[in-house]
């Protein structure tokens, strides 16, 4: 990586270079010199002198300050966002720099964290970079450090693979494979209501309305903390996630046939192991290399028929895709999907629009039909 150039201001009238920095009290001071190299040395010496004056919290470690920052800044966040910070801090930041004094952390130390994540996705790295920047910006604001070592940190990693919605035939195969199993209601809620995983797990019977127009009310979620402990909360991902979703006949029939064994619709009692075991029902029915006639050596009691990728998010992705392909108004799709902004809906699903030449020719002809 090329070395970052020393940036400073040059005044043509005075012939002086100038560089500003904050002193120990947080006030800006200016350093001048006619020679840029000498100015850089003056600037670096001034930084060291100012850091020597910062005796507030000099012994506090990154782990200690991160715990304090998390306690003060995440109380009002949604459970999923709070969990993102917990995972970023505990799984990625603290193992690398947790024992360091916060004032000793350098940009290269922050880069080591991302180096350890080189095989992880861009989205995961973004979460960690966001946590780092916020923690060290707070430390700077509280005068524990002179400047954040993470200000120029950028996420890398690979881009997540494009998620492909299920075709009608794949939906039929999936539902046939899991019919009469405990995961069936979960899958139906994803395919025919487009709920997020945490929304399905948090759905309770008081939010299922069988009336003239049957609908679901999205009001609660179940998420898991870093210790896999379930958290039932009414704090949704965004305010837009609170919505009422009409149910098609397929979903109405499914839910009406269920025995109400608990207050939850998709499962009896929230626990991470319960969700994991429920989704294993789908995973065990996926065709794998070496299977003969769809039969598994370890689970010969059922046949493997699912030869495509499926996840809780793909169920939701399939629902939203079907809405768009039906020609539904994009603002209605945004509402049903629970997206905070229509831009989110458009950015993800715009490729599904009719943008082929044969699809657009009628609109082009209509636009220019009156011109010679």
Whole-angstrom Cα distance, residue 9 to residue 253? Answer: 71
Same domain? For 245 and 132 the reply is no
Higher-confidence residue of 128 and 327: namely 128
Q: Which of 277, 308, 339 is the last residue of a domain?
A: 308
Q: Which of 308, 323, 340 is the last residue of a domain?
A: 308
Same domain? For 303 and 175 the reply is yes
Residue 119 placed within a domain? yes
How large is the average pLDDT for residues 153-158?
83
Same domain? For 200 and 121 the reply is no
Question: Nearest Cα to 191, choosing from 341, 333, 311?
Answer: 311
Whole-angstrom Cα distance, residue 95 to residue 63? Answer: 9
pLDDT of residue 2: 41
Whole-angstrom Cα distance, residue 27 to residue 355? Answer: 55
Same domain? For 21 and 86 the reply is no
For residue 180, pLDDT over 80 is answered with yes
Question: Nearest Cα to 88, choosing from 74, 103, 106?
Answer: 74
Residue 41 placed within a domain? yes
Residue 160 placed within a domain? no
Is the Cβ–Cβ distance between 151 and 133 less than 8 Å?
yes
For residue 176, pLDDT over 90 is answered with yes
For residue 282, pLDDT over 60 is answered with yes
Domains contained in the chain, number: 3
For residue 25, pLDDT over 70 is answered with no
pLDDT of residue 351: 65
How large is the average pLDDT for residues 1-19?
77
Higher-confidence residue of 36 and 353: namely 36
Same domain? For 177 and 276 the reply is yes
Same domain? For 251 and 292 the reply is yes
Same domain? For 214 and 301 the reply is yes
Is the Cβ–Cβ distance between 200 and 189 less than 8 Å?
yes
Residue 265 placed within a domain? yes
Same domain? For 203 and 290 the reply is yes
Whole-angstrom distance between the N-terminal and C-terminal Cα of the chain? 57
Whole-angstrom Cα distance, residue 320 to residue 323? Answer: 5
Same domain? For 91 and 214 the reply is no
pLDDT of residue 345: 84
Element (H, E) at 223: strand 221-224
pLDDT of residue 20: 87
For residue 1, pLDDT over 50 is answered with no
Per-residue pLDDT band for 72 (boundaries 50, 70, 90) equals confident
Is the Cβ–Cβ distance between 63 and 94 less than 8 Å?
yes
Q: CATH number of the domain that 110 lies in? A: 1.10.150
pLDDT of residue 250: 94
Residue 289 placed within a domain? yes
pLDDT of residue 312: 93
pLDDT of residue 304: 84
pLDDT of residue 372: 57
How large is the average pLDDT for residues 237-251?
93
Residue 320 placed within a domain? no
Instruction: Specify the pTM.
Output: 0.66
Mean confidence (pLDDT) of the chain? 85
pLDDT of residue 179: 92
For residue 3, pLDDT over 60 is answered with no
Same domain? For 119 and 83 the reply is yes
Same domain? For 115 and 183 the reply is no
Question: Nearest Cα to 232, choosing from 216, 219, 245?
Answer: 219
Q: Which of 308, 333, 359 is the last residue of a domain?
A: 308
Question: Nearest Cα to 151, choosing from 124, 133, 131?
Answer: 133
pLDDT of residue 291: 60
- Cα angle for residues 303, 309, 164 (degrees, 5° grid): 145
- Residue 372 DSSP code: -
Residue 66 placed within a domain? yes
pLDDT of residue 4: 54
Residue 185 placed within a domain? yes
What domain range is 15 assigned to? 9-53
Same domain? For 206 and 303 the reply is yes
């Amino acid at each position: 990586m090329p070395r970052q150039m020393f940036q400073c201001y040059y005044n043509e009238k005075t012939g002086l270079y100038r560089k500003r920095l904050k002193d120990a009290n947080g006030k800006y001071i200016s350093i001048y010199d006619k020679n840029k190299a000498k100015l850089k040395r003056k600037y670096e010496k001034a930084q060291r002198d100012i850091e020597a004056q910062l005796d507030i919290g000099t012994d506090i470690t990154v782990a200690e300050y991160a715990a304090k920052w998390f306690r003060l800044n995440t109380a009002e966040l949604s459970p999923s966002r709070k969990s993102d910070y917990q995972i970023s801090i505990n799984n990625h930041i603290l193992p690398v720099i947790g024992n360091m004094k916060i004032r000793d952390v350098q940009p290269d130390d922050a880069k080591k964290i991302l180096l350890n994540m080189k095989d992880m996705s861009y989205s995961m790295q973004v979460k960690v970079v966001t946590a780092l920047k916020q923690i060290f910006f707070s430390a700077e604001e509280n005068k524990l450090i002179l400047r954040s070592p993470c200000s120029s940190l950028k996420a890398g990693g690979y881009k997540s693979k494009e998620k492909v919605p299920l075709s009608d035939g794949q939906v039929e195969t999936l539902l046939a494979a899991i019919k009469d199993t405990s995961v069936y209601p979960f899958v139906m809620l994803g395919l025919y209501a487009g709920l997020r995983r945490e929304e399905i797990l948090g759905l309770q019977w008081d939010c299922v309305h069988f009336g003239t127009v049957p609908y679901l009310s999205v009001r609660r979620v179940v998420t898991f903390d870093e210790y896999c402990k379930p958290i039932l909360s009414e704090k949704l991902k965004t305010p837009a996630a609170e919505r009422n979703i009409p149910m098609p006949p397929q979903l109405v029939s499914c839910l009406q046939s269920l025995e109400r064994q608990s207050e939850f619709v998709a499962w009896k009692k929230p626990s991470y192991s319960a969700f994991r075991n429920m989704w294993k029902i789908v995973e065990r029915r996926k065709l794998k290399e070496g299977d003969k006639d769809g039969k598994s050596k370890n689970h010969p009691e059922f046949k493997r028929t699912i030869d495509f990728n499926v996840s809780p998010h793909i169920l939701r992705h399939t629902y939203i895709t079907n809405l768009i392909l039906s020609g539904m108004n994009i603002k209605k799709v945004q509402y049903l999907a629970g997206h905070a902004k229509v831009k989110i809906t458009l950015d993800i699903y715009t490729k599904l629009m009719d943008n082929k030449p044969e699809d657009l020719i009628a609109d082009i002809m209509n636009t220019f039909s009156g011109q010679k």
